[in-house]
Amino acid sequence: MPIRLRLTLAALLGALALSSIGGWVFLHQLRNGLHASVDSSLRVRADALVQKVQDSGTNLDFQDAGSTALLAARESIAQVVGPDSRLVDSSQAAGNNVVIPESALAAARRGTTYSEGVVPGDSHAARFLATPVKRREGTYVVIVGTSLASVDDAVSRVRAGILLGDILTVAIATIGAWLLGRFALRPVERMRREVAAISEFDEVTRLDVPRTHDEIALLGNTMDALLGRLHAALAQQRAFVADAGHELRTPLAILRTELELAGRPGRDTDELRRAVANAGEETDRLARLAEALLYLARHDERRHQQRRELQPLQPIFMRATETARGRAGERGIEVALDASPGLVAPVVGDDLRRALDNLLDNAIRHAPRGSRVEVAATLHTNRIVITVRDHGPGFPVEFLAHAFERFRRADASRTHQDDDSGAGLGLAIVRAVARDHGGDAHARNPPDGGGEVAITLPAV
Protein backbone atom coordinates (compact mmCIF):
# COMPACT_ATOMS: atom_id res chain seq x y z
CA MET A 1 0.00 0.00 0.00
CA PRO A 2 1.47 3.41 -0.93
CA ILE A 3 2.63 5.61 1.94
CA ARG A 4 0.39 8.44 0.81
CA LEU A 5 -2.67 6.19 0.98
CA ARG A 6 -1.62 4.92 4.41
CA LEU A 7 -1.17 8.48 5.66
CA THR A 8 -4.60 9.39 4.29
CA LEU A 9 -6.25 6.39 5.95
CA ALA A 10 -4.48 7.17 9.22
CA ALA A 11 -5.66 10.79 9.06
CA LEU A 12 -9.20 9.67 8.22
CA LEU A 13 -9.34 7.19 11.10
CA GLY A 14 -7.71 9.65 13.48
CA ALA A 15 -10.07 12.48 12.55
CA LEU A 16 -13.04 10.11 12.79
CA ALA A 17 -11.98 8.87 16.22
CA LEU A 18 -11.20 12.34 17.59
CA SER A 19 -14.39 13.91 16.23
CA SER A 20 -16.50 11.03 17.54
CA ILE A 21 -14.95 11.14 20.99
CA GLY A 22 -15.05 14.93 21.08
CA GLY A 23 -18.68 14.99 19.97
CA TRP A 24 -19.65 12.38 22.55
CA VAL A 25 -17.89 14.27 25.34
CA PHE A 26 -19.49 17.56 24.28
CA LEU A 27 -22.97 16.05 24.12
CA HIS A 28 -22.43 14.39 27.50
CA GLN A 29 -21.39 17.68 29.07
CA LEU A 30 -24.25 19.52 27.37
CA ARG A 31 -26.80 17.01 28.62
CA ASN A 32 -25.38 17.19 32.14
CA GLY A 33 -25.46 20.98 32.02
CA LEU A 34 -29.07 21.07 30.84
CA HIS A 35 -30.05 18.54 33.50
CA ALA A 36 -28.32 20.66 36.11
CA SER A 37 -30.33 23.67 34.93
CA VAL A 38 -33.54 21.63 35.09
CA ASP A 39 -32.64 20.41 38.60
CA SER A 40 -32.04 23.98 39.71
CA SER A 41 -35.44 25.02 38.40
CA LEU A 42 -37.06 22.04 40.11
CA ARG A 43 -35.43 22.96 43.42
CA VAL A 44 -36.83 26.51 43.21
CA ARG A 45 -40.33 25.21 42.52
CA ALA A 46 -40.04 22.56 45.20
CA ASP A 47 -38.89 25.08 47.80
CA ALA A 48 -41.91 27.31 47.07
CA LEU A 49 -44.29 24.37 47.30
CA VAL A 50 -42.66 23.10 50.50
CA GLN A 51 -43.07 26.54 52.05
CA LYS A 52 -46.74 26.55 51.05
CA VAL A 53 -47.29 23.12 52.58
CA GLN A 54 -45.64 24.21 55.81
CA ASP A 55 -47.70 27.42 56.01
CA SER A 56 -51.06 25.83 55.20
CA GLY A 57 -52.01 24.81 58.69
CA THR A 58 -54.71 22.18 58.67
CA ASN A 59 -56.13 23.22 55.29
CA LEU A 60 -54.26 21.69 52.38
CA ASP A 61 -56.49 22.96 49.54
CA PHE A 62 -53.63 24.51 47.54
CA GLN A 63 -55.88 25.64 44.73
CA ASP A 64 -57.77 28.11 46.90
CA ALA A 65 -57.48 31.84 46.32
CA GLY A 66 -54.27 33.30 47.69
CA SER A 67 -52.19 30.23 46.85
CA THR A 68 -49.02 30.41 44.72
CA ALA A 69 -50.88 28.60 41.95
CA LEU A 70 -48.03 26.11 41.56
CA LEU A 71 -50.60 23.34 41.41
CA ALA A 72 -52.99 25.23 39.21
CA ALA A 73 -50.76 25.75 36.18
CA ARG A 74 -51.63 23.28 33.43
CA GLU A 75 -48.09 22.83 32.18
CA SER A 76 -46.67 22.42 35.67
CA ILE A 77 -46.22 18.96 37.17
CA ALA A 78 -46.68 19.18 40.96
CA GLN A 79 -48.11 16.82 43.57
CA VAL A 80 -48.41 16.56 47.33
CA VAL A 81 -48.51 13.05 48.81
CA GLY A 82 -49.69 12.53 52.36
CA PRO A 83 -48.17 10.37 55.11
CA ASP A 84 -50.42 7.49 54.07
CA SER A 85 -49.02 7.62 50.49
CA ARG A 86 -52.30 8.97 49.20
CA LEU A 87 -52.37 11.84 46.78
CA VAL A 88 -53.42 15.00 48.65
CA ASP A 89 -53.41 17.33 45.68
CA SER A 90 -52.08 17.34 42.13
CA SER A 91 -51.75 19.80 39.27
CA GLN A 92 -53.72 19.19 36.12
CA ALA A 93 -50.59 18.21 34.18
CA ALA A 94 -49.61 15.66 36.83
CA GLY A 95 -52.82 13.66 36.62
CA ASN A 96 -54.53 11.70 39.40
CA ASN A 97 -51.84 9.15 40.16
CA VAL A 98 -48.52 9.54 41.93
CA VAL A 99 -45.97 10.16 39.19
CA ILE A 100 -43.05 8.42 40.87
CA PRO A 101 -42.85 4.75 41.87
CA GLU A 102 -43.24 3.50 45.43
CA SER A 103 -39.52 2.94 45.87
CA ALA A 104 -38.74 6.53 44.92
CA LEU A 105 -41.54 7.76 47.18
CA ALA A 106 -40.17 5.80 50.12
CA ALA A 107 -36.68 7.19 49.48
CA ALA A 108 -38.12 10.73 49.27
CA ARG A 109 -39.48 10.47 52.85
CA ARG A 110 -35.88 10.13 54.01
CA GLY A 111 -34.46 12.93 51.86
CA THR A 112 -34.61 14.75 48.55
CA THR A 113 -34.34 12.45 45.55
CA TYR A 114 -34.31 12.81 41.77
CA SER A 115 -35.82 10.34 39.35
CA GLU A 116 -36.80 10.13 35.72
CA GLY A 117 -39.98 8.90 34.13
CA VAL A 118 -42.53 10.01 31.56
CA VAL A 119 -44.98 12.88 31.50
CA PRO A 120 -48.44 11.58 32.53
CA GLY A 121 -50.57 11.10 29.45
CA ASP A 122 -47.57 11.71 27.17
CA SER A 123 -44.53 9.84 25.90
CA HIS A 124 -41.94 12.52 26.60
CA ALA A 125 -39.34 11.88 29.23
CA ALA A 126 -39.65 13.84 32.45
CA ARG A 127 -37.48 14.56 35.47
CA PHE A 128 -38.91 14.61 38.98
CA LEU A 129 -37.75 15.99 42.32
CA ALA A 130 -39.30 14.59 45.49
CA THR A 131 -38.57 16.11 48.90
CA PRO A 132 -40.06 15.48 52.36
CA VAL A 133 -42.09 18.04 54.38
CA LYS A 134 -42.46 17.49 58.13
CA ARG A 135 -45.92 18.27 59.55
CA ARG A 136 -47.62 17.48 62.83
CA GLU A 137 -49.67 14.68 61.33
CA GLY A 138 -46.71 13.09 59.54
CA THR A 139 -44.27 13.42 56.68
CA TYR A 140 -45.62 14.69 53.40
CA VAL A 141 -43.78 14.42 50.10
CA VAL A 142 -43.74 17.28 47.64
CA ILE A 143 -43.15 16.21 44.02
CA VAL A 144 -42.35 18.59 41.20
CA GLY A 145 -41.41 17.67 37.68
CA THR A 146 -40.88 18.98 34.21
CA SER A 147 -40.78 17.56 30.74
CA LEU A 148 -37.36 16.94 29.14
CA ALA A 149 -38.70 17.49 25.64
CA SER A 150 -36.90 20.83 25.33
CA VAL A 151 -33.67 19.25 26.60
CA ASP A 152 -33.92 16.36 24.18
CA ASP A 153 -34.73 18.74 21.36
CA ALA A 154 -31.71 20.91 22.15
CA VAL A 155 -29.44 17.87 22.38
CA SER A 156 -30.79 16.54 19.07
CA ARG A 157 -30.13 19.85 17.30
CA VAL A 158 -26.60 20.00 18.71
CA ARG A 159 -26.02 16.34 17.76
CA ALA A 160 -27.04 17.09 14.17
CA GLY A 161 -24.68 20.05 14.09
CA ILE A 162 -21.83 18.00 15.52
CA LEU A 163 -22.48 15.23 13.01
CA LEU A 164 -22.31 17.72 10.15
CA GLY A 165 -19.17 19.26 11.61
CA ASP A 166 -17.60 15.82 12.04
CA ILE A 167 -18.30 14.98 8.41
CA LEU A 168 -16.70 18.22 7.28
CA THR A 169 -13.76 17.72 9.65
CA VAL A 170 -13.11 14.17 8.45
CA ALA A 171 -13.40 15.23 4.82
CA ILE A 172 -11.03 18.17 5.28
CA ALA A 173 -8.54 16.05 7.25
CA THR A 174 -8.62 13.31 4.60
CA ILE A 175 -8.15 15.70 1.69
CA GLY A 176 -5.49 17.61 3.61
CA ALA A 177 -3.59 14.44 4.46
CA TRP A 178 -3.72 13.32 0.82
CA LEU A 179 -2.40 16.66 -0.42
CA LEU A 180 0.17 16.89 2.37
CA GLY A 181 1.41 13.37 1.65
CA ARG A 182 1.66 14.17 -2.03
CA PHE A 183 3.59 17.36 -1.32
CA ALA A 184 5.84 15.81 1.33
CA LEU A 185 6.67 12.70 -0.71
CA ARG A 186 7.29 14.56 -3.94
CA PRO A 187 11.07 14.81 -3.25
CA VAL A 188 11.14 11.09 -2.44
CA GLU A 189 9.45 10.24 -5.73
CA ARG A 190 11.85 12.52 -7.59
CA MET A 191 14.88 10.85 -5.97
CA ARG A 192 13.38 7.44 -6.73
CA ARG A 193 13.13 8.31 -10.40
CA GLU A 194 16.70 9.61 -10.37
CA VAL A 195 17.99 6.43 -8.76
CA ALA A 196 15.99 4.27 -11.18
CA ALA A 197 17.54 6.14 -14.10
CA ILE A 198 21.11 5.54 -12.88
CA SER A 199 22.82 2.62 -14.62
CA GLU A 200 25.96 0.75 -13.69
CA PHE A 201 27.89 2.78 -16.26
CA ASP A 202 26.91 6.23 -15.00
CA GLU A 203 29.51 8.24 -13.15
CA VAL A 204 26.88 10.39 -11.42
CA THR A 205 26.46 9.45 -7.77
CA ARG A 206 24.67 12.58 -6.52
CA LEU A 207 20.95 13.10 -6.21
CA ASP A 208 18.91 16.28 -6.19
CA VAL A 209 18.51 16.37 -2.40
CA PRO A 210 16.12 19.04 -1.06
CA ARG A 211 17.76 21.60 1.22
CA THR A 212 15.19 21.24 3.95
CA HIS A 213 17.42 19.65 6.63
CA ASP A 214 14.65 17.21 7.51
CA GLU A 215 14.27 13.43 7.41
CA ILE A 216 13.80 13.40 3.63
CA ALA A 217 17.02 15.35 3.17
CA LEU A 218 18.78 12.90 5.50
CA LEU A 219 17.38 10.03 3.42
CA GLY A 220 18.69 11.68 0.26
CA ASN A 221 22.14 12.21 1.77
CA THR A 222 22.18 8.60 2.94
CA MET A 223 21.26 7.41 -0.55
CA ASP A 224 24.00 9.66 -1.94
CA ALA A 225 26.52 8.05 0.40
CA LEU A 226 25.23 4.58 -0.54
CA LEU A 227 25.54 5.36 -4.25
CA GLY A 228 29.05 6.61 -3.64
CA ARG A 229 30.01 3.41 -1.84
CA LEU A 230 28.43 1.26 -4.53
CA HIS A 231 30.17 3.25 -7.24
CA ALA A 232 33.50 2.91 -5.43
CA ALA A 233 32.93 -0.83 -4.91
CA LEU A 234 32.01 -1.26 -8.57
CA ALA A 235 35.07 0.68 -9.66
CA GLN A 236 37.22 -1.41 -7.33
CA GLN A 237 35.67 -4.61 -8.68
CA ARG A 238 36.30 -3.54 -12.26
CA ALA A 239 39.88 -2.62 -11.42
CA PHE A 240 40.25 -5.95 -9.64
CA VAL A 241 39.01 -7.85 -12.69
CA ALA A 242 41.21 -5.79 -15.01
CA ASP A 243 44.30 -6.30 -12.86
CA ALA A 244 43.55 -10.00 -12.47
CA GLY A 245 43.22 -10.34 -16.23
CA HIS A 246 46.50 -8.50 -16.69
CA GLU A 247 48.27 -10.74 -14.18
CA LEU A 248 46.84 -13.90 -15.72
CA ARG A 249 47.76 -12.84 -19.23
CA THR A 250 51.54 -12.98 -18.65
CA PRO A 251 51.83 -16.54 -17.28
CA LEU A 252 49.26 -17.78 -19.78
CA ALA A 253 51.27 -16.25 -22.62
CA ILE A 254 54.48 -17.82 -21.29
CA LEU A 255 52.74 -21.17 -20.84
CA ARG A 256 51.39 -21.04 -24.37
CA THR A 257 54.82 -20.14 -25.74
CA GLU A 258 56.49 -22.99 -23.90
CA LEU A 259 53.91 -25.46 -25.12
CA GLU A 260 54.24 -24.21 -28.69
CA LEU A 261 58.01 -24.51 -28.50
CA ALA A 262 57.70 -28.00 -27.04
CA GLY A 263 55.43 -28.99 -29.89
CA ARG A 264 57.83 -27.94 -32.62
CA PRO A 265 59.55 -30.77 -34.48
CA GLY A 266 63.23 -31.38 -33.95
CA ARG A 267 63.31 -30.62 -30.19
CA ASP A 268 65.66 -32.82 -28.20
CA THR A 269 64.91 -34.37 -24.83
CA ASP A 270 66.62 -31.66 -22.76
CA GLU A 271 64.72 -28.91 -24.52
CA LEU A 272 61.46 -30.73 -23.98
CA ARG A 273 62.29 -31.20 -20.27
CA ARG A 274 63.03 -27.48 -19.91
CA ALA A 275 59.83 -26.53 -21.71
CA VAL A 276 57.76 -28.86 -19.55
CA ALA A 277 59.50 -27.57 -16.38
CA ASN A 278 58.83 -23.95 -17.38
CA ALA A 279 55.24 -24.81 -18.20
CA GLY A 280 54.89 -26.48 -14.79
CA GLU A 281 56.26 -23.38 -13.04
CA GLU A 282 53.81 -21.15 -14.86
CA THR A 283 51.01 -23.57 -14.04
CA ASP A 284 51.93 -23.41 -10.35
CA ARG A 285 52.01 -19.62 -10.53
CA LEU A 286 48.58 -19.61 -12.16
CA ALA A 287 47.25 -21.93 -9.45
CA ARG A 288 48.64 -19.72 -6.66
CA LEU A 289 47.30 -16.59 -8.30
CA ALA A 290 43.88 -18.15 -8.84
CA GLU A 291 43.78 -19.29 -5.21
CA ALA A 292 44.68 -15.79 -4.01
CA LEU A 293 42.04 -14.21 -6.24
CA LEU A 294 39.43 -16.70 -5.03
CA TYR A 295 40.26 -15.96 -1.39
CA LEU A 296 39.97 -12.19 -1.91
CA ALA A 297 36.71 -12.61 -3.84
CA ARG A 298 35.23 -14.69 -1.03
CA HIS A 299 36.46 -12.14 1.47
CA ASP A 300 34.75 -9.32 -0.43
CA GLU A 301 31.46 -11.21 -0.43
CA ARG A 302 31.74 -11.85 3.31
CA ARG A 303 31.48 -15.59 2.72
CA HIS A 304 34.95 -16.11 4.08
CA GLN A 305 33.96 -15.38 7.67
CA GLN A 306 33.57 -18.97 8.73
CA ARG A 307 33.24 -20.29 12.23
CA ARG A 308 36.23 -19.47 14.39
CA GLU A 309 37.77 -22.07 16.65
CA LEU A 310 39.77 -21.26 19.73
CA GLN A 311 43.34 -22.40 19.02
CA PRO A 312 46.77 -21.97 20.63
CA LEU A 313 48.91 -19.82 18.34
CA GLN A 314 52.33 -21.27 19.20
CA PRO A 315 51.95 -24.36 16.92
CA ILE A 316 50.88 -22.15 14.01
CA PHE A 317 53.96 -19.94 14.44
CA MET A 318 56.27 -22.94 14.70
CA ARG A 319 54.93 -24.63 11.55
CA ALA A 320 55.07 -21.41 9.54
CA THR A 321 58.64 -20.59 10.57
CA GLU A 322 59.80 -24.17 10.11
CA THR A 323 58.49 -24.17 6.54
CA ALA A 324 60.05 -20.77 5.85
CA ARG A 325 63.49 -21.91 7.12
CA GLY A 326 63.76 -24.31 4.19
CA ARG A 327 63.43 -21.46 1.68
CA ALA A 328 65.49 -19.04 3.75
CA GLY A 329 68.38 -21.48 4.20
CA GLU A 330 69.12 -21.42 0.48
CA ARG A 331 70.02 -17.74 0.83
CA GLY A 332 71.71 -18.02 4.21
CA ILE A 333 68.90 -16.20 5.99
CA GLU A 334 67.99 -17.10 9.55
CA VAL A 335 64.32 -17.21 10.63
CA ALA A 336 63.90 -16.49 14.36
CA LEU A 337 60.73 -16.96 16.39
CA ASP A 338 59.99 -15.13 19.64
CA ALA A 339 56.38 -15.77 20.67
CA SER A 340 54.93 -15.47 24.14
CA PRO A 341 53.71 -18.88 25.33
CA GLY A 342 50.06 -19.46 26.01
CA LEU A 343 48.66 -17.13 23.36
CA VAL A 344 45.17 -18.24 22.36
CA ALA A 345 42.80 -16.68 19.83
CA PRO A 346 39.74 -17.66 17.77
CA VAL A 347 41.11 -18.58 14.35
CA VAL A 348 39.39 -19.47 11.06
CA GLY A 349 40.94 -22.66 9.68
CA ASP A 350 44.39 -22.12 8.14
CA ASP A 351 43.84 -18.46 7.30
CA LEU A 352 46.31 -17.18 9.88
CA ARG A 353 48.91 -19.63 8.58
CA ARG A 354 48.28 -18.32 5.05
CA ALA A 355 48.90 -14.74 6.21
CA LEU A 356 52.13 -15.73 8.03
CA ASP A 357 53.40 -17.60 4.97
CA ASN A 358 52.82 -14.53 2.81
CA LEU A 359 54.64 -12.28 5.27
CA LEU A 360 57.57 -14.68 5.62
CA ASP A 361 57.87 -15.11 1.82
CA ASN A 362 57.87 -11.35 1.39
CA ALA A 363 60.44 -10.84 4.15
CA ILE A 364 62.77 -13.57 2.84
CA ARG A 365 62.58 -12.16 -0.67
CA HIS A 366 63.69 -8.70 0.50
CA ALA A 367 66.13 -9.69 3.27
CA PRO A 368 69.86 -9.47 2.42
CA ARG A 369 71.93 -12.66 2.38
CA GLY A 370 73.23 -13.60 5.77
CA SER A 371 70.61 -11.52 7.64
CA ARG A 372 67.70 -12.71 9.69
CA VAL A 373 63.91 -12.54 9.57
CA GLU A 374 62.27 -12.11 12.97
CA VAL A 375 58.80 -13.33 13.90
CA ALA A 376 57.42 -12.07 17.23
CA ALA A 377 54.06 -12.40 18.98
CA THR A 378 53.15 -10.59 22.19
CA LEU A 379 50.07 -9.78 24.20
CA HIS A 380 49.15 -6.12 24.67
CA THR A 381 46.14 -5.72 26.98
CA ASN A 382 43.35 -7.35 24.94
CA ARG A 383 45.19 -7.53 21.61
CA ILE A 384 47.68 -10.01 20.22
CA VAL A 385 50.34 -8.34 18.05
CA ILE A 386 52.19 -10.53 15.52
CA THR A 387 55.12 -8.91 13.71
CA VAL A 388 57.34 -10.14 10.88
CA ARG A 389 60.46 -8.06 10.28
CA ASP A 390 63.35 -8.19 7.85
CA HIS A 391 66.57 -6.16 7.75
CA GLY A 392 66.42 -5.24 4.10
CA PRO A 393 65.95 -1.82 2.50
CA GLY A 394 62.43 -1.43 3.96
CA PHE A 395 59.34 -0.11 2.24
CA PRO A 396 59.50 2.97 0.04
CA VAL A 397 57.96 5.83 1.99
CA GLU A 398 55.42 6.60 -0.72
CA PHE A 399 54.43 2.92 -0.84
CA LEU A 400 53.50 2.57 2.86
CA ALA A 401 50.10 4.22 2.43
CA HIS A 402 49.24 1.76 -0.38
CA ALA A 403 51.05 -1.34 0.86
CA PHE A 404 47.87 -3.38 1.39
CA GLU A 405 46.15 -2.46 -1.85
CA ARG A 406 45.64 -5.22 -4.38
CA PHE A 407 48.07 -5.56 -7.28
CA ARG A 408 50.21 -2.81 -5.75
CA ARG A 409 53.97 -3.30 -5.84
CA ALA A 410 56.66 -1.16 -4.34
CA ASP A 411 58.13 -0.46 -7.78
CA ALA A 412 54.68 -0.15 -9.44
CA SER A 413 55.82 -2.67 -12.06
CA ARG A 414 54.34 -5.96 -13.16
CA THR A 415 57.47 -7.99 -13.62
CA HIS A 416 57.34 -11.71 -13.19
CA GLN A 417 58.04 -13.04 -9.70
CA ASP A 418 58.39 -16.49 -8.23
CA ASP A 419 55.29 -16.42 -6.07
CA ASP A 420 51.82 -15.01 -5.95
CA SER A 421 52.92 -12.10 -3.76
CA GLY A 422 54.80 -10.86 -6.81
CA ALA A 423 51.38 -10.00 -8.26
CA GLY A 424 50.79 -7.57 -5.41
CA LEU A 425 48.29 -9.75 -3.55
CA GLY A 426 50.34 -11.02 -0.61
CA LEU A 427 49.84 -8.05 1.71
CA ALA A 428 46.25 -7.65 0.54
CA ILE A 429 45.54 -11.20 1.72
CA VAL A 430 47.30 -10.45 5.02
CA ARG A 431 45.00 -7.53 5.75
CA ALA A 432 41.94 -9.51 4.60
CA VAL A 433 42.82 -12.32 7.03
CA ALA A 434 43.40 -9.86 9.87
CA ARG A 435 40.09 -8.11 9.32
CA ASP A 436 38.23 -11.40 9.00
CA HIS A 437 39.49 -12.15 12.51
CA GLY A 438 38.39 -8.79 13.91
CA GLY A 439 41.83 -7.19 13.70
CA ASP A 440 43.94 -5.28 11.19
CA ALA A 441 47.40 -5.12 9.60
CA HIS A 442 49.94 -2.29 9.41
CA ALA A 443 53.29 -1.79 7.72
CA ARG A 444 56.17 0.45 8.80
CA ASN A 445 59.90 0.99 8.58
CA PRO A 446 61.55 0.63 12.02
CA PRO A 447 63.99 3.42 12.96
CA ASP A 448 66.99 1.05 12.87
CA GLY A 449 66.20 -0.14 9.31
CA GLY A 450 64.35 -2.90 7.54
CA GLY A 451 60.64 -3.39 7.03
CA GLU A 452 58.01 -4.64 9.46
CA VAL A 453 54.41 -5.79 9.08
CA ALA A 454 52.21 -6.21 12.17
CA ILE A 455 48.96 -8.16 12.51
CA THR A 456 46.69 -7.38 15.47
CA LEU A 457 44.12 -9.93 16.64
CA PRO A 458 41.63 -9.85 19.52
CA ALA A 459 42.87 -11.93 22.41
CA VAL A 460 40.94 -14.28 24.67
Strand runs labelled E in 82-234: 87-90, 113-118, 125-135, 138-147
Q: Name the average pLDDT for the chain.
A: 80
Run of H or E including 68:
none
Q: What CA dihedral angle connects 339, 341, 347 and 353, to 10 degrees?
A: 40
* Domain identity same for 343 and 246: no
Q: What is the CATH number of the domain that holds 364?
A: 3.30.565.10
Residue 192 resides in a domain: no
Do 239 and 321 fall within a single domain? no
Last residue of a domain, one of 283, 300, 317: 300
Read off φ and ψ for residue 241, nearest 5 degrees: -65, -40
Q: Are residues 143 and 243 in the same domain?
A: no
Q: Is position 188 within any domain?
A: no
By residue count, the chain amounts to 460
Q: Does residue 228 fall inside a structural domain?
A: yes
Model confidence pLDDT, tens digit, residues 232-285: 777 767 766 666 666 667 677 777 777 777 777 767 777 777 777 777 777 777
- Cα dist from 73 to 6, 47, 250, 437, whole Å: 62, 17, 122, 101
Q: Specify the higher pLDDT residue, 250 or 400.
A: 400
Of 300, 329, 353, the one marking the end of a domain is 300
Q: Tell me the per-residue pLDDT of 360-373, one tens digit each, with 9 for 90 and over.
A: 988 888 889 889 99
**Whether 433 contacts 354, CB under 8 Å:** yes
- What are 146-172's pLDDT values in tens digits? 888 888 899 999 999 989 988 998 899
The reply to whether 287 and 336 lie within a common domain is no
- Indicate whether 165 belongs to any domain: no
Residue 419's pLDDT is 42
Among 255, 273, 300, where does a domain finish?
Answer: 300
Domain shared by 43 and 145, yes or no = yes
Residue 199 within any structural domain of the chain: no
**Same domain for 348 and 327?**
yes
**Quick one: pLDDT at residue 72?**
56
CATH number at residue 53: 3.30.450
- Count structural domains, the chain: 3
Report the candidate in 43, 69, 51 with the shortest Cα–Cα distance to residue 134: 51
- The least confident of 39-48, 221-230, 412-421 is 412-421
Q: Does residue 67 surpass a pLDDT of 80?
A: no
Left, alpha or beta for 82 (phi > 0: left; psi -120 to 50: alpha)? beta
Report the pLDDT value the prediction gives residue 37, as an integer from 0 to 100.
92
On whether both 401 and 335 belong to a single domain, the answer is yes
Q: What is the pLDDT of residues 316-362, one digit of tens each?
A: 999 999 988 888 888 889 999 998 888 888 888 788 888 898 899 88
Q: Examine the domain organization and report whether 105 and 28 are in the same domain.
A: yes
Higher pLDDT, 330 or 128: 128
The pLDDT of residue 64 is 44
Which range, 49-63, 162-176, 202-216, 391-405, is most confident? 162-176
Of 170, 299, 300, the residue nearest 237 (C-alpha): 300
**Shared domain check, 343 and 263:** no
d(CA 366, CA 372): 11
**Does residue 379 belong to any structural domain of this protein?**
yes
206 domain-assigned: no
pLDDT at 3 over 70: yes
Give the structural domain span for 356. Answer: 309-458
Q: Which residues partner with 315 through β-bridges?
A: none
Does a structural domain hold residue 178? no
Helices 186-197 and 215-263, axial angle in degrees (round to 10) = 10
> What number is the average pLDDT over the span 25-49?
91
Same domain, yes or no: 273 and 329: no
Residues 288 and 322 occupy one common structural domain:
no
